[in-house]
């Protein structure tokens, strides 16, 4: 078989320098005369189909991590909510547990459904979802239910729902879709094309969030905007400039309102304001401190007796720290870091730009929520109303984040609706001599070979 | 992808643009490179987030490392520390009868400012700090400012924020009226009083002190339902003296000097126990973890040497004497010779510690029996005789001429009852001042002074009671002028306290050994670990046994009537049936505090008896201060101790000796020597009779109390009602004391059916049914019995366990109902199941 003519691009010095090593390896591989089909660069599909990385397939580890976090959440939210349930719900100590289990059942269903739903189809739903989310944020201003001085809930058919939670995933899908379009037109670098429209959408969402008020969601949306634009390739200069502007605006925003300023000052010195503004933060840190390395034991928290407000939702990590100690917190943190690593892997090996951006957005969404929650509980960030994904009690958050996780896993599977159940392989304790696998001589080439063949076929 | 021309080459402009993009973004290359770069960006973003988690975790590690800094706050959060005042100890008599006890009776206090509807705070002027809240930091101030700003915009007003209400808001006024009505109804306090207390915005005020259990329960249940905002029900104790006036001044209150309550306050007072409890954010204690048993930290009980019945008898008779002689006051002391125990310490002020509204007359809140010191007069002569016998300056065969007065300087010593001569014991029998001064002159002043010191004069007896008198004795004796020495020899020019002279008589009675009188037998602690015994004083020898015996012989002669070899003693009225007695009368002039001279009108008539004289058991002291009753037969005021105090000693001895089971004296009148069996039976009968008499006496006082209380309630005159009560008691077939107990025994024997037995007995008209008092705290028992017109005799303290007469029995009004109480280990009045067939 005669090798096809080599494309001029490959010899162009301007481009050759930036060709990936794997590609060069593939040429070497061809020279070796192996069984691998050598693909000339000319024959490489262009556009989205040009990807070389193989989708990771069904990420069972990530799914397992999510389910484990949800299980921990059910146990710990029950433990942390007993006091509130006893006091506010006529002594029904399992009030929150039953609701949490119902939410978890729905969330599991949503997760599996989203996992089987080809993610490319979300592109068609991007704008309807965005309009729906914005509409929800507007509706909550008129029909919302006020709890703790914030109007965040809207009652649909007897079930409370937070449009702000939904707006996060809608914003991720919208951004991914929009940025993919801009990338394909190569205008994503431009401020007016790559950044401004998204920033305007964010401004609308942010303004609506602040009416509730819900600064946390607004900031999460901002982080999504910046990180996804950055990943999509928007010029960093704009991003940094606008980011600095936004931080100045935020500072002015905090300084303007004495109550917000008081809260910020309390964040800096919670022990001085432990009776008033810093009550929540101080007591959360007290819980972490007294929990120690190994914790007081499951169910043995004292700070959950009303001292840590929202102990079962936003501040559940403090109760975990008190009951299970820093060891338990470390396991939770490792679970999130692992989840993010898997998300990163899915994003890097996504089949197309949209998939990569969606996966990035969802990973950032989960990571931001987890990081901010950790920071708030440990006292490195001021108090925000953000849940710990999959762990905190709260139906909207759990279901929406499960949907996001489902989409992420589907991206990992390359949009494939079906998946094979993993083979159950028991580890072999010994190996017969004749079964010993051949060690590849040239690992680098071997890997490239495998990737190329896998990527094309 | 960079743009290319038709030949596939980049134009120069395009090439520049590509370079620019490469510089800016390294764009314009293959999708794969782009994908790689995008992947690196994803790595960066996710890495930053992961780093944030790690950073936060490091903060968590720092928090755990510095946990010691915040441990204090955590403790404050988790633990509520309540200080509770535990129960004050009881005061018991030598047989364990309760003389003073503490009953659980909660008090109700209210903060009128906080009587507001739920969710409201008291309104405050902007510059005043909120009562009960501490606004100390700027952050809170800022929040308050923000709140104030929000309040200006009514539509933004948040319902969840607490609102304020002024004190004179119509709603608050109405609520206060409702709360006042509820409290008044439950606690049976006049509504006007409660309303008045609630009318002013002061911080804290009691509306009802010591409410009963039922009311406290009702109030607590109302409070838990939120019907009593601003009201606090505080645990409190009510000090209760079951016998009212009996030993009133001795038991006293914690404000009266010379009282057991005040003197042993440190022993009686319960420790303040700090209960540590887990609490939640609203500071409600959740459970007590390893809490100390408050019952074990209660005050210790003081067991006195006082015998309730002897005390009652002594008080009764000394009071009778004081009334009869129109005296200022009287004191009676009974001491057990063998142990030095004070069996009775009676005085006549009639102090009732249950009724502390107005101080008793004439001395206010003082125990005059302890504080009083007086010139003993002739009762002191026995010590002169004893000292002279001991010093062998008084010969038993000599005759002392006492016909002519002794003249020392300008002073003349003479006798009231002149005689020509006397021997060594007759000088005491006729109470001759002349003989005493002559005998005393034979001794050195220092020698005599030493005897007085050895007998404990001029030194506090130290019974442990506050305000005890020490007496007065000029010192040193060699500086005494002769006339003072002669005066001291017959008991003038020296001041003693009743306890001192009783102890000194006890020295003679116990064969010359001085024993310090004992008032407290033991102190018992609730946990039994801090018990304290006060042993009998081993004593110190002052006189030889022979000397003491001779002196007793001389004292016995004082009570001998005129006859062969007897000149006729001054204390013949002290003689009593069956028991021999010896003693000494005393009629002493007292110094008028106005001019420092002996008063012509202020005398103290006293008698100190030792009985029975062969084997002394009791020293009985009685003194009547300043008798003013004009005796028309004598034509003057009768003030001789032999006439006014000796009968008191006789009556006390007559009761106390059989009561204590002392065998009758061999040589005494009325004793049937021929039939020992009959004598023994008589002995037993006398003992029972004495017991019954004492019960009657205590009951009579109780009737007076009931009468007074009924009068106070009904507005009728007390004597009428007392007469009515007496009429009720006087009925035949009544059951008191032992009779009641025996009835209980019968009921047990006939199959534990007290009801049937009670029904079988024909009830008299006006009889009352005995309520079931078992498992009830003493306070309720007392109230129920008072309501039924019955008298409580409490044994022990705590919850009623056994009672007699049995519940359901029909008894006359005024009957004494005996109830045994047992205290629960935690000091509360928690009822425990009691076997119904317990033997009372």
pLDDT at site A366: 95
pLDDT, one tens digit per residue, over A198-217 is 999 999 999 999 888 888 89
Partners of A186 on chain B (C-beta within 8 Å) are 1, 27
pLDDT at site A446: 61
- Select the more confidently predicted residue: A139 or B811: A139
Contact yes or no for B46 and A341 at CB 8 A = yes
pLDDT at site B676: 65
**Is the predicted pLDDT of residue A453 greater than 80, yes or no?**
no
The reply to whether A64 and A26 lie within a common domain is no
Partners of B142 on chain A (C-beta within 8 Å) are 258-259, 261-262, 277
Q: Is A11 helix (H, G, I), strand (E, B) or coil?
A: helix
Share of chain B above pLDDT 70, in %: 77
Q: What is the ipTM of this complex?
A: 0.77
Rounded average pLDDT over B8-35: 63
Q: Taking the mean position of all CA atoms in its chain, how far away is CA B295? A: 18
- Select the more confidently predicted residue: B119 or B599: B599
pLDDT at site B827: 44
Q: Which one of B62, B77, B145 would you mutate to disrupt binding with A, by most A Cβ within 10 Å of its Cβ?
A: B77
**Is the predicted pLDDT of residue B715 greater than 60, yes or no?**
no
Q: Is B593 helix (H, G, I), strand (E, B) or coil?
A: coil
pLDDT, one tens digit per residue, over B727-744 is 434 333 332 333 332 333
Contact yes or no for A380 and B59 at CB 8 A = yes
- Select the more confidently predicted residue: B105 or B712: B105
The reply to whether A66 and A144 lie within a common domain is yes
**Is the predicted pLDDT of residue B700 greater than 60, yes or no?**
yes
A333 lies in a domain? Answer: yes
A424 lies in a domain? Answer: no
Helices (H), B401-444: 426-429, 433-441
pLDDT, one tens digit per residue, over B672-689 is 556 667 767 777 777 787
Task: Give the whole-angstrom CA distance, residue A79 versus residue A296.
Answer: 13
pLDDT at site B711: 40
- Select the more confidently predicted residue: B300 or B567: B300
The reply to whether A161 and A273 lie within a common domain is yes
A443 lies in a domain? Answer: no
A19 lies in a domain? Answer: yes
pLDDT, one tens digit per residue, over A68-91 is 999 999 999 999 998 888 877 877
Contact yes or no for A379 and B46 at CB 8 A = no
- Select the more confidently predicted residue: B6 or B831: B6
Rounded average pLDDT over B626-639: 86
**Is the predicted pLDDT of residue A13 greater than 60, yes or no?**
no
**Is the predicted pLDDT of residue B327 greater than 80, yes or no?**
yes
Q: Tell me which chain A residue has its CA closest to the CA of residue B144.
A: A259
pLDDT at site B746: 30
pLDDT at site B509: 94
Shortest distance between the Cα of B755 and any Cα of chain A, in A, equals 47
Residue A5 φ then ψ, to 5°: -60, 140
User: Across the A/B interface, how many CB contacts are shorter than 8 Å?
Assistant: 218
The reply to whether A161 and A13 lie within a common domain is no
Partners of A363 on chain B (C-beta within 8 Å) are 42, 46
Which of the given ranges, B245-259, B798-812, B815-829, has the highest pLDDT on average?
A: B245-259
Partners of A272 on chain B (C-beta within 8 Å) are 137
Of A413, A432, A449, the last residue of a domain is: A413
The reply to whether A166 and A125 lie within a common domain is yes
Q: Share the mean pLDDT of chain B.
A: 78
Contact yes or no for A305 and B281 at CB 8 A = yes
Q: Taking the mean position of all CA atoms in its chain, how far away is CA A326? A: 23
pLDDT at site B705: 53
Contact yes or no for B43 and A348 at CB 8 A = yes
Q: Which one of A290, A309, A375 would you mutate to disrupt binding with B, by most B Cβ within 10 Å of its Cβ?
A: A290
Shortest distance between the Cα of B67 and any Cα of chain A, in A, equals 5
pLDDT, one tens digit per residue, over A222-239 is 999 999 988 888 877 877
Partners of B129 on chain A (C-beta within 8 Å) are none
A347 lies in a domain? Answer: yes
Listing from the earlier edge strand, what are the strands of the sheet with B816-822? B791-795, B816-822, B799-804
CB-based contact B690:B662 (threshold 8 Å): no
The reply to whether A26 and A113 lie within a common domain is no
CA atoms within 13 A on the CB side of B339: 15
Contact yes or no for A23 and B32 at CB 8 A = yes
Instruction: In chain B, count H helices and then E strands.
Output: 26, 32
Read off the pLDDT band of B453 (50, 70, 90).
very high
pLDDT at site A207: 92
- Select the more confidently predicted residue: B782 or B64: B64
pLDDT at site B287: 64
Shortest distance between the Cα of A36 and any Cα of chain B, in A, equals 20
A38 lies in a domain? Answer: yes
- Select the more confidently predicted residue: A384 or B808: A384
pLDDT at site A288: 92
A35 lies in a domain? Answer: yes
pLDDT, one tens digit per residue, over B639-654 is 888 899 999 999 999 8
pLDDT, one tens digit per residue, over A275-287 is 777 888 889 999 9
DSSP 8-class letter at B97: B
- Select the more confidently predicted residue: A51 or A295: A295
Contact yes or no for A231 and B24 at CB 8 A = no
Contact yes or no for A277 and B140 at CB 8 A = yes
Q: Which of B821, B803, B840 is nearest to B103 (CA)?
A: B821
Domain count along chain A: 2
Contact yes or no for B74 and A302 at CB 8 A = yes
Q: Is A413 exposed, middle or buried (0-12, 13-18, 19+ CB in 10 A)?
A: buried
Read off the pLDDT band of B605 (50, 70, 90).
very high
Contact yes or no for B57 and A272 at CB 8 A = no
Rounded average pLDDT over B693-713: 57
Task: Give the whole-angstrom CA distance, residue B351 versus residue B360.
Answer: 6
**What would you report as the CA-atom Rg of chain B, rounded to the nearest whole angstrom?**
41
Read off the pLDDT band of B704 (50, 70, 90).
low
**Is the predicted pLDDT of residue A133 greater than 90, yes or no?**
yes
pLDDT at site B148: 57
The reply to whether A285 and A242 lie within a common domain is yes
Residue A173's domain comprises 60-413
Shortest distance between the Cα of B125 and any Cα of chain A, in A, equals 21
The reply to whether A33 and A122 lie within a common domain is no
pLDDT at site B21: 59
pLDDT, one tens digit per residue, over B329-348 is 999 999 999 999 999 999 99
Could you tell me the sign of the dihedral formed by the alpha carbons of B24, B26, B31, B35, in that order? negative
Which of the given ranges, A329-338, B207-216, B452-461, B585-594, has the highest pLDDT on average?
A: A329-338
DSSP sequence for A272-293: TTTTTTTHHHHHHHHHHHHHTT
DSSP 8-class letter at B38: H
The reply to whether A36 and A79 lie within a common domain is no
Read off the pLDDT band of B29 (50, 70, 90).
low
pLDDT at site A175: 94
Q: Share the mean pLDDT of chain A.
A: 81
pLDDT at site B20: 61
Residues paired with A424 in a beta bridge: none
Contact yes or no for A265 and B139 at CB 8 A = yes
CB-based contact B606:B624 (threshold 8 Å): yes
pLDDT at site A450: 62
A447 lies in a domain? Answer: no
Rounded average pLDDT over B12-37: 63
Partners of A276 on chain B (C-beta within 8 Å) are 137, 139-140, 143
Task: Give the whole-angstrom CA distance, residue A150 versus residue B302.
Answer: 65
Task: Give the whole-angstrom CA distance, residue A61 versus residue A53.
Answer: 20
Query: Between B8, B59, B67, which is nearest A292 by CB?
Result: B67
Contact yes or no for B60 and A321 at CB 8 A = yes
Query: Between B25, B73, B145, which is nearest A274 by CB?
Result: B73
pLDDT, one tens digit per residue, over B129-147 is 443 344 344 455 555 566 5
Rounded average pLDDT over B435-444: 92
pLDDT at site B388: 94
Task: Give the whole-angstrom CA distance, residue A323 versus residue B516.
Answer: 66
Q: Which of A48-57, B790-799, B828-837 bottoms out in mean pLDDT, i.e. has the lowest? A: B828-837
**Is the predicted pLDDT of residue B764 greater than 60, yes or no?**
no
Contact yes or no for A378 and B60 at CB 8 A = yes
Q: Taking the mean position of all CA atoms in its chain, how far away is CA B521? A: 16
Task: Give the whole-angstrom CA distance, residue B735 versus residue B749.
Answer: 18
pTM of the prediction?
Answer: 0.62
Task: Give the whole-angstrom CA distance, residue B173 versus residue B782.
Answer: 38
Residues paired with B329 in a beta bridge: B625
Partners of A47 on chain B (C-beta within 8 Å) are 31
**Is the predicted pLDDT of residue A161 greater than 80, yes or no?**
yes
The reply to whether A13 and A68 lie within a common domain is no
Question: Can you read off the two tokens belonging to residue A335?
Answer: 């679970």
The reply to whether A133 and A206 lie within a common domain is yes
**Is the predicted pLDDT of residue B826 greater than 80, yes or no?**
no
The reply to whether A38 and A104 lie within a common domain is no
């Amino acid at each position: 078989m005669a090798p096809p003519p080599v494309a001029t691009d490959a010899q162009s010095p301007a481009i050759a320098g930036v060709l990936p090593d794997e590609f060069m390896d593939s040429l070497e591989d061809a020279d070796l005369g192996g069984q691998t089909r050598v693909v000339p660069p000319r024959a490489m599909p262009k556009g989205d189909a040009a990807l070389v990385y193989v989708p990771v397939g069904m990420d069972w580890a990530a799914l397992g991590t999510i389910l484990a976090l949800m299980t921990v959440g059910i146990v710990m939210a029950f433990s942390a909510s007993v006091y509130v349930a006893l006091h506010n719900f006529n002594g029904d100590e399992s009030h929150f547990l039953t609701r949490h289990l119902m939410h978890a059942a729905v969330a599991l269903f949503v997760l599996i459904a989203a996992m089987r739903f080809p993610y490319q189809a979300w592109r068609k739903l991007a704008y309807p979802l965005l309009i729906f989310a914005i509409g929800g944020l507007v509706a909550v201003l008129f029909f919302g239910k006020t709890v703790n001085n914030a109007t965040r809930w809207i009652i649909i058919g007897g079930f409370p729902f937070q449009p702000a939670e939904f707006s996060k995933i809608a914003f991720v899908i919208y951004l991914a879709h929009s940025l993919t379009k801009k990338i394909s037109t190569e205008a994503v670098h431009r401020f007016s094309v790559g950044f401004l429209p998204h920033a305007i959408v964010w401004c609308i969402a942010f303004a609506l969030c602040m009416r509730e008020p819900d600064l946390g969601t607004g900031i999460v949306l901002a982080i999504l905007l910046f990180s996804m634009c950055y990943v999509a390739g928007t010029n960093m200069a704009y991003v940094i400039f606008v980011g600095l502007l936004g931080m100045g605006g935020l500072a002015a925003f905090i300084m303007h309102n004495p109550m917000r300023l008081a809260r910020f000052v309390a964040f800096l010195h919670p022990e001085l304001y432990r009776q008033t503004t810093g009550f929540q933060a101080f007591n959360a840190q007290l819980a972490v401190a007294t929990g120690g390395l190994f914790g007081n034991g499951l169910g043995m928290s004292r700070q959950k007796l009303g001292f840590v407000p929202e102990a079962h939702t936003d501040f559940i990590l403090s109760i975990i720290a008190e009951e299970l100690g820093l060891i338990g917190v470390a396991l939770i943190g490792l679970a999130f870091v692992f989840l993010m690593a898997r998300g990163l892997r899915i994003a890097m090996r996504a089949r197309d730009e949209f998939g990569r951006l969606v996966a990035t957005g969802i990973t950032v969404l989960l990571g931001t929520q987890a990081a901010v929650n950790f920071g708030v509980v440990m006292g490195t960030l001021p108090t925000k109303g953000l849940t710990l994904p999959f762990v905190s009690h709260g139906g909207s958050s759990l279901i929406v984040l499960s949907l996001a996780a489902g989409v992420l896993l589907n991206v990992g599977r390359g949009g494939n609706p079906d998946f094979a159940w993993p083979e159950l392989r028991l580890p072999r304790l010994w190996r017969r001599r004749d079964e010993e696998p051949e060690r590849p001589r040239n690992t680098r080439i071997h890997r490239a070979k495998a990737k190329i063949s896998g990527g094309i076929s | 992808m960079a743009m290319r021309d038709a030949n596939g080459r980049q134009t120069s402009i395009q090439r520049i643009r590509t370079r620019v993009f490469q510089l800016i973004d390294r764009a314009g290359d293959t999708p794969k490179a782009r994908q790689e770069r995008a992947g690196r960006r994803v790595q960066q973003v996710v890495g930053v987030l992961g780093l944030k988690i790690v950073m936060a975790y490091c903060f968590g590690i720092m928090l755990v490392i510095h946990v010691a800094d915040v441990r204090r706050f955590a403790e404050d959060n988790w633990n509520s520390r309540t200080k509770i005042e535990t129960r004050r100890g009881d005061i018991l008599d030598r047989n364990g009868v309760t003389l003073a006890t503490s009953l659980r009776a909660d008090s109700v206090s209210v903060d009128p400012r906080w009587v507001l509807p739920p969710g409201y705070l008291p309104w405050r002027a902007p510059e005043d700090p909120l009562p009960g809240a501490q606004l100390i930091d700027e952050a809170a101030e800022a929040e308050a400012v923000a709140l104030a700003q929000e309040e200006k915009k009514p539509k933004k007003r948040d319902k969840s924020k607490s609102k304020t209400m002024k004190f004179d808001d119509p709603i608050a006024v109405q609520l206060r009226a409702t709360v006042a009505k509820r409290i008044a109804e439950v606690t049976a306090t006049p509504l006007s009083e409660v309303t008045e207390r609630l009318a002013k915005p002061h911080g804290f005020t009691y509306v009802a002190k010591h409410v009963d259990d039922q009311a406290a329960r009702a109030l607590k249940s109302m409070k838990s339902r939120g019907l009593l905002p601003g009201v606090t029900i505080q645990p409190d104790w009510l000090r209760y003296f079951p016998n009212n006036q009996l030993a009133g001044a001795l038991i006293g209150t914690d404000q009266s000097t010379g009282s057991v309550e005040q003197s042993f306050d440190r022993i009686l007072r319960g420790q303040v126990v700090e209960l540590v409890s887990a609490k939640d954010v609203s500071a409600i204690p959740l459970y007590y973890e390893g809490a100390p048993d408050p019952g074990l930290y209660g005050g210790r009980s003081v067991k006195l040497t006082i015998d309730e019945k002897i005390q009652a008898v002594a008080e009764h008779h000394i009071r009778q004497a004081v009334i009869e002689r129109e005296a200022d006051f009287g004191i009676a002391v009974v001491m057990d010779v063998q142990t030095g125990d004070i069996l009775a310490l009676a005085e006549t002020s009639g102090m009732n510690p249950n009724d502390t509204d107005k101080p008793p007359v004439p001395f206010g809140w003082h125990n005059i029996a302890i504080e009083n010191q007086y010139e003993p007069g002739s009762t002191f002569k026995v010590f002169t005789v004893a000292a002279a016998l001991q010093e062998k300056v008084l010969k038993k065969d000599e005759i002392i001429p006492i016909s002519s007065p002794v003249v020392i300087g300008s002073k003349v010593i003479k006798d009231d009852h002149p005689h020509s001569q006397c021997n060594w014991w007759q000088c005491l029998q006729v109470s001759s001042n002349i003989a005493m001064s002559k005998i005393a002159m034979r001794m050195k002043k220092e020698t005599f002074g030493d005897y007085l010191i050895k007998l404990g004069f001029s030194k506090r007896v130290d019974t442990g009671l506050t305000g005890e008198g020490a007496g007065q004795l000029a010192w040193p004796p060699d500086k005494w002028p002769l006339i003072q020495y002669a005066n001291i020899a017959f008991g003038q020019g020296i001041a003693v306290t009743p306890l001192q002279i009783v102890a000194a008589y006890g020295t003679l009675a116990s064969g010359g050994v001085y024993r310090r009188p004992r008032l407290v037998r033991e102190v018992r602690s609730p946990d039994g670990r801090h018990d304290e015994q006060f042993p009998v004083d081993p004593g110190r020898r002052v006189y030889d046994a022979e000397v003491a015996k001779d002196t007793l012989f001389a004292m016995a002669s004082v009570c001998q009537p005129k006859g062969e070899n007897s000149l006729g003693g001054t204390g013949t009225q002290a003689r009593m049936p069956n028991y021999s007695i010896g003693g000494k009368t005393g009629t002493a002039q007292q110094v008028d505090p106005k001019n420092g001279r002996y008063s012509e009108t202020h005398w103290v008539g006293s008698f100190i008896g030792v009985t029975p004289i062969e084997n002394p058991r009791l020293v009985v002291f009685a003194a009547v201060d300043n008798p003013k009753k004009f005796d028309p037969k004598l034509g003057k005021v009768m003030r001789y101790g032999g006439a006014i105090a000796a009968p008191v000693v006789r009556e006390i001895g007559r009761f106390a000796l059989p009561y204590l089971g002392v065998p009758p004296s061999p040589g005494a009148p009325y004793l049937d020597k021929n039939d020992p069996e009959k004598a023994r039976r008589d002995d037993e009968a006398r003992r029972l009779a004495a017991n019954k008499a004492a019960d009657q006496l205590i009951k009579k006082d109780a009737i007076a109390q009931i009468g007074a209380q009924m009068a106070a309630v009904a507005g009728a005159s007390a004597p009428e009602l007392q007469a009515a009560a007496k009429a009720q008691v006087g009925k035949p077939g009544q059951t008191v004391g032992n009779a009641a107990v025996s009835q209980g025994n019968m009921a047990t024997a006939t199959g534990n059916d007290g009801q049937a037995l009670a029904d079988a007995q024909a009830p008299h008209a006006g009889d009352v049914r005995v309520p079931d008092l078992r498992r009830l705290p003493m306070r309720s028992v007392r109230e129920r019995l008072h309501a039924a017109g019955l008298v409580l005799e409490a044994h022990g303290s705590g919850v009623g366990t056994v009672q007699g007469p049995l519940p359901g029995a029909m008894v006359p009004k005024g009957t004494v109902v005996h109830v045994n109480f047992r205290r629960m280990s935690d000091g509360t009045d928690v009822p425990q199941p009691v076997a119904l067939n317990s033997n009372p």
